[in-house]
Structure formats: structure tokens, C-alpha cells
A and B are shown apart, each in its own frame.
Chain A
Amino acid sequence: MDRRSFLKGIGVASLLAEGLVRRLFAREIPVVAVSRDKDYRRAAVRAVDLLGGMKRFVKPGDVVVIKPNMGWDRTPAQAANTHPLVVRGLAEEALRVGAKKVKVFDRTCNDERRCYVQSGIAAALSGLDRVELKFIENERFHPVAIKGGTLKSWELYGEALSADVFINVPVAKHHGLTRLSLGLKNVMGVMGGNRGSIHRHIGPALADINSVLKSHLTVIDATRVLTAHGPQGGDPADVKVLDTVVASADIVAADAYATTLFGLKPEEIEVTVAAYRRGLGEMNLRRVRVVRG
């Protein structure tokens, strides 16, 4: 099935069959928190507070992994990487509620040293006790079997898998192939191997990865978003300032909501649809409670 007819099919099928089934078995209606603030650190913290606070996700003594997107040698203003203040805010919150350790890493696309520095995240996290900004180390990738997916197995990053809490902190931005890069796409940063090769079937492949590496909390940085020439952009003219942070325990719902910030519909994003079909979360925004603050 090609993508267009696939999407069309989904539009109908999801509303009828799957949607119906889902609704019948739905226990809890997913909540998406949206917070607007010019102070990005506060915006991030508030978004999590609207979901019940960091203590809902992080228990004292937990090892927490925060996975921002810091894959590109770009500055915060260029909107290719997660804003450093969003990352800092979340790290501080995790510490405040008793995390034993907060690890921050990403498998970068450009030189990792430059990315960590240019993204501003190295500077933002420096001086935080018990927060480790770490480089990816190849020996820590382990093959993980994936049931019932397109990918039979893939190498994933050990430290991400073994964390007590995995907080996924993407930046919302344009992407040439997937149209948008959001939470589901951000887990590519813990994939080992030749990850470019999944572009052939990126939707189902990313759904596969997200089915084995669950994000306990997804915080989408839409403080300023890249609207074209993603995923790395570079031209300030492509950046739009929204001062928004979106958070949810449901990664699909978070992505679905963030999609609307670009004037697009969740059904238009293949990755979101694939994840929804795989049962990873809710993409129909009418069945999502949006709280604002």
C-alpha cells in the first residue's frame, strides 16, 4: 500500500474499527498539557505540573534519562535542538523530587562535541550535581528483539533501556521525510547501527522502536519551531517563536497535539499514525484532554 492510500485508509478505519475498539477499552483519557511562557524553563516545569508534577513520574532514588534532541551543530535560536532551558528545567525538577541521577545524552548527527556545546545544553547543565551529560559509547548498544513489527530487532542504547524513567524531550520541527520530527522520531537518538536505513519504512520502524523503548513522559519543546528546511535548518527565517511546551505521558497524543501547532493534522504524519495503529497512544485529539497553563 502506498502512503497516500494508506493514510486515506487510516482516516476511515481508525475512526471506525480501531477507534471504536479503543474507545471501548479505553481506561483513562490521555491528558496533554500545554504551557506558554517566555521563560522556557518555567514553561517546561509548568507543563509537567499540569500533568500532576514530576513526582508522578520520578520516584525518589530513580535513575532518570532525559533525551533531548541535540543532534545538530546549531545554536538554540536556530531551533534544530531542544532548548537548553527546557532541558535544564526538567533536570532540576527530576532532582528536586529525588532522582538519584539524571543522565542526558543523544546520538548526534554532527560532531557530538560540537553539538553538545553549540546546543547550549552543556552550558545549561553544568554545575548541576548528579546530572551527567554523557557521550554515546558504542559498546553500550544492545540488540533488542521487537515483536510483531517491521524491524525484527535493533540495537538500542543500554543506558536508555535500563533507566527507571525515560523522559523524551524533542524539539518540534520540520523534517524532509516525515514532515515533522517530534517525540516518536526523537527516539532515533538511542538507536544504534545504520539508522538511516530505516528511512525506507520510517513510520512502522519508529513505531517498532517506540514499542520497546517506552517514553514515560514526553515533553515537546515548541518554544521556537523550525518550519522548513529541517531537521537542521540554520536559517533564522525558518524559525517561528511559539513560546510553547507540550507535555504528556502519552507520546502519540503529545505528538498529535504538537502537529496542530504547524497547522497540520495528526493523520497527516505517517509516524504518528503508525504508532497509533501499534497501540502506543491516542492520536485523535477529540479523545484527548488538553489542559493549558
Chain B
Amino acid sequence: MKKISPARLSQLLFLLLFLVLFVQTEYRGSDQLAAAVNSFFRADPLVAVTVLLAEKTMVWLVLPGLLLLGLSLVLGRFFCGWVCPLGTILDLVTPRIRKRGALPLLKGNLKYWLLLPLLGAALFDVNLAGLLDPLALLVRGLTFFFYPLFGDSARQVWVGLYRLLGDNRDYLAPGYALLRDHLLPFRETFYPLALLSTLLLVLIIVLERYESRNWCRNLCPLGTLLGIAARFSPLVRRPAGLCADCGACRQLCPTTFDQELLQREECILCLECQRRCPAQRVTFGFGRRPAGEPVFLQRRVLLGGLVSGFFLARVFRFRSPAAQARLLRPPGVTDEQRFLQSCVRCGECMKVCLKSALYPAIFESGAEGLYTPHLIPRLGYCEYNCTLCGQVCPTGAIPALPVEEKRRQVIGKAVFDKNQCLPFAKKTNCIVCEEHCPIPQKAIRSRTVAETTDDGRSVRLQVPYVVTELCNGCGICENVCPLEGKAGIEVFAVNDRSPLPAGGEPPPGGGEEGDPYGGAG
């Protein structure tokens, strides 16, 4: 067996860590998740830079990302060769893929044309970095596609066993419980955009047909950002170029040696050239940067990139009013604009959501909101005592709140649809929504009225109404409404998302009389 290189060892450990943290991003019996679950995003320099550009104030949560950027100024793009899990996956598959030679299309300044508009858009308040951030791409692919698929398959086998063995299956139950509690997703959730998320990952792998680490060296905006930092790094390789008598580096190096000279912004410091140089000539050390490195960014690209970011930010603004009325953001998000500035679309909140209430937006909040989380009550609801999404959000886009505060966060407001709701439309009792409303004082109440049905019977009917001042829009009412398809009560987005008052009772003047939807119908 070949001796494993330190870089490879580090890569494998980080990949393992990444997967462990991914699996751990789930409720496992304790209200508090280990703070570490989103460390990869917290340490992601692209996330850090775009969030800071968009918010224009210091966001302490992303400090690790800044530190990593600082470290890259000293050490270069080591992150790509030693840490990045997507890079590791590419390194693992690429030897099995026959190469066809680089695609000229991807060469040149393309990567800057990807990175700079992202930074430019962030500067103009639209943070699209997550669309192309490698960690986000990977987590989304896993969250939306592979993990649900994995969970569903495991579960199908388990259900199949029941069909086969009946109650005898119970002898195997402890084993399944172990899997379920530690490895599988608890709920099988299927997501929109799952296909797109996987396609992007597959595409990145397909690109390996042309050259190794194709994505990393020609497209990845995080890598490009780190590459820019690497330009300033005093860590240099000697010799700086290919030796006249050898040139083995061309074969050994996964990223930079398609030219004669080391491309510092592409060198991922895997140190393969040092390890396997036939003449043992290669060394890495701190020193002066070699003369003759090409200027790396023409002003044209820099300006053009940033300016197109500005246009990107504008063009992506279109939103459909109808979709927006139902655009419910996770608890604690009060300002849509700020949310779009800081959400990196990593998918962590959707992965962790206890009741599978959060889904990636497609165009509900305009193109700029692609992949941002929103709540779909008919599919899941926000669990009253749960605070997980705020805990895992790496940028504070969803604030991490103590549970008492989270309960009072307003996601939207519930409204009855009297054409659907049974007591109104059919004059039959129901109030499942009232039953489930978690607000201790009940935001859904009912009054008892004597009614005559359409066929002339007189009935004692419990007619529900919403106490709007108490409703936090958690969506459980809409979720549990026994009507098929469309519910008789629906949560709509509201502009004023200031938290409910502490203490429970509606403010004076509000309450039953003030309820706009309380009419007996």
C-alpha cells in the first residue's frame, strides 16, 4: 500500500468530521445541539466576506471565516487541499475518470466573473454566495437528495421486513432503533429542487473528465477568493516553475501546472510535488515571492465583475405578490431584506427542522431568494418549543433565541377561509385547529352558537375564530386541518412581525371583540 500523504489524511479526517456533523444536525433528544454542527460554514471565508459586505457591520458569528481568510493570506489555498470536503470527494473520484484535456471555455477569467458579481451583489444587499459556495452545494445535495433517499430506502427495507415477518420483526427492532437514532433522518422529507441540487453536484463531478479539480481551479468562488489571498502568501515553492530537465510536476500536480510556472492562486498545497519529485528538488518555505508572476486581475474584470453584481442584484428583485403572501420565514426572521443579506442558503435549517416545515424557496421570494428557507404549513409546522433552526444557522440569518423568546416570534398570522372551514362551510363541528394551537391562552378560540343546517336541522356549533394578537403563525392549525388539500385555516405572511407580548393575554382592546375574523358567518 502507498503511504498516505499528510494532506490526504487531513482531507479524510475532515470529510469524516463533515459527515458526522451533517448527521448530527438533527434533533437527537436534547433541545440544544452541539454548537459545532455548522462549524464548516462558520469557518467559510466566502460566507464571511459576503455576509459582511451585505450587512456592512461586523457579524461576530462569521469571525472564524475571517480568521481562515487571514490564515490563507499566510499559507495560501491550503483549505482546498487539506480541508474542503467537496475537494476531497473530487480527489477520491478523479483517478477513476479518464481525462480529455482542459476545456478552453473554463480557462481565463471565468472564475473571477463568477466570484466578483457575487461580491458585487452582496455589496448591493443581495447575498447570492450560497448558490455557488462549495460547502452549501454539498450540504444541499446531501440534505435535499442523498440523505432523504438513504433514509427512505432504509425505511422501505424496514417496512418490507414487517410485511414479511409481521410482528416477528420486533426481534430486529433494537438494531433498527440504533440506526434510526444515530444515522438515519428521523423523518423522510422530500424537497423541491432536490433534482437541481444533485444535478449541480453531478455536473461538478462530470467536469472531472476534462481535468482534475476542474471545479476547484476554474469555477469555485470560495477557491477563487482563497486564491486571491494566496497571491499574498509568503509561503513559496522552490523551484517556482517546472525544471527544464524534468517536468514531472505536470503529472503530479492536481491543479496548477498546466503552465510552466506555478499558479499560486491555484496551488492547493497538497505537497504531492514535494513528496514525489524524482529528484527531491522541491521545497516549500517562507520567502520572497518570485518575480515575474503575471498580474492577476485586470481592472476591466474587477470593475466589470462588481458592476454586473449590481445588475444581478437588481434583476433578481422581481417577486410575485401572490407567492409572497405565503412566504413564511423561519421564526425570528423579522426583516426580509436583512434575511436575504445574511442567509447563505446552506440548507442547515431545513435539514434540522423538527417537523419538516422548512423548504427551499424556488421563486417565492424572487430569484434572489432561491434556496432560502421558508415554511410550508401544509407540509409541516414550527414546533412551539423548538429552537433548532436558529441554533444551526451559521450567520444569524435566523437568530438563535432562547425558547421563551422564540415562542413569541411571529412567523405570520392565521386566517380562516370560511368557504372551506367546516363549521362555516358545512355547519359541522370540528375545531381540530383550536385543539392543536400551542399558545397557552389559545390564539384560536371558539364560541358556541345555535345554527340551522342547510337541510333544516338545528345544531349546536362551535365556531372558531383567531385572536390575531396571540397568533405566532406557527402553522400547526393549517397543518392539522382535517380537510383534504387546501386547509380551512391558512397562515399568511405579515409585514409587522414584532414578537407577541410576554405574558400571554392579548393587549387591552384586542382579544375577542377585536378579532377581525371572528364573525359567526
Taking Cβ atoms with an 8 Å cutoff, the residues of A that contact B are 1-4, 73, 109-111, 113-114, 117-118, 122, 134, 137, 139-140, 158-159, 162, 175-177, 194, 196-197, 199-200, 202, 229, 231-235, 238
14 A–B contacts, CB within 8 A, in A order: A2-B457, A109-B480, A111-B386, A113-B186, A113-B354, A114-B385, A139-B159, A158-B167, A176-B462, A177-B434, A196-B432, A202-B429, A229-B440, A234-B438
Residues in A whose Cβ lies below 8 Å from that of B27: 111, 113-114
Contact A2 B458 (CB under 8 A): yes
Q: Is the CB of B482 within 8 A of A176?
A: no
Q: Are A109 and B458 in contact (CB under 8 A)?
A: no
B439 close to A (CB within 8 Å): yes
- Report the interface size for chain B: residues with CB under 8 A from the other chain: 38
Is residue B446 within 8 Å, beta carbon to beta carbon, of the partner chain?
yes
- Are A229 and B481 in touch, CB under 8 angstroms? no
State the majority secondary structure of interface residues on B. Answer: loop
Nearest-Cβ distance from residue A97 to partner chain B, whole angstroms: 22
Given A3-B460, A200-B422, A229-B440; 20 other pairs, CB 8 A cutoff: A2-B459, A73-B383, A111-B355, A113-B29, A113-B186, A114-B383, A118-B385, A139-B163, A159-B167, A175-B435, A176-B435, A176-B446, A177-B430, A177-B431, A194-B482, A196-B481, A199-B432, A200-B429, A233-B440, A234-B439
- Using CB atoms and an 8 Å cutoff, list the residues of chain B in contact with chain A: 27, 29, 159, 162-163, 167, 173, 186, 354-355, 383-386, 422, 428-432, 434-436, 438-442, 446, 457-460, 462, 480-482, 504
Which chain A residues lie closer than 8 Å to B446 at the CB level?
Answer: 176
B436 and A109: CB pair below 8 A?
yes
A-B contact count (CB 8 A): 89
Decide if A235 touches B435 in the complex (CB within 8 Å): no
Chain A residues near B434 (CB-CB < 8 A):
176-177
**Nearest B residue to A2 by beta-carbon distance?**
B459
Tell whether, in the assembled complex, residue A235 and residue B383 are in contact, meaning their CB atoms are under 8 Å apart.
no
CA distance A2 to B429 in the complex (A): 11
A229 to B159, CA, bound (A): 38
* In the complex with contacts A200-B429, A232-B438, A110-B460 CB distance below 8 A: no
Cα distance, A293 to B48, chains bound together (Å): 67
The 10 closest A-B pairs by CB, nearest first: A234-B440, A196-B482, A235-B440, A196-B432, A197-B482, A2-B459, A200-B428, A139-B159, A3-B460, A199-B430
Q: Which of B438, B460, B482 contacts A2 (CB 8 A)?
A: B460
Min CB distance, A64 to chain B, in Å? Answer: 15
Which residue of chain A lies nearest to B452 when distances are taken between CB atoms in the complex? Answer: A2
Pick the residue among A113, A140, A176, A229 that contacts B431 (CB under 8 A): A176
Which residues of chain B have C-beta atoms less than 8 A from A234's C-beta?
438-440
Residues of B within 8 A of A3 (CB): 459-460
Question: Chain B's nearest CB lies how many Å from the CB of A232?
Answer: 6
* CB-CB nearest in chain B for A232: B438
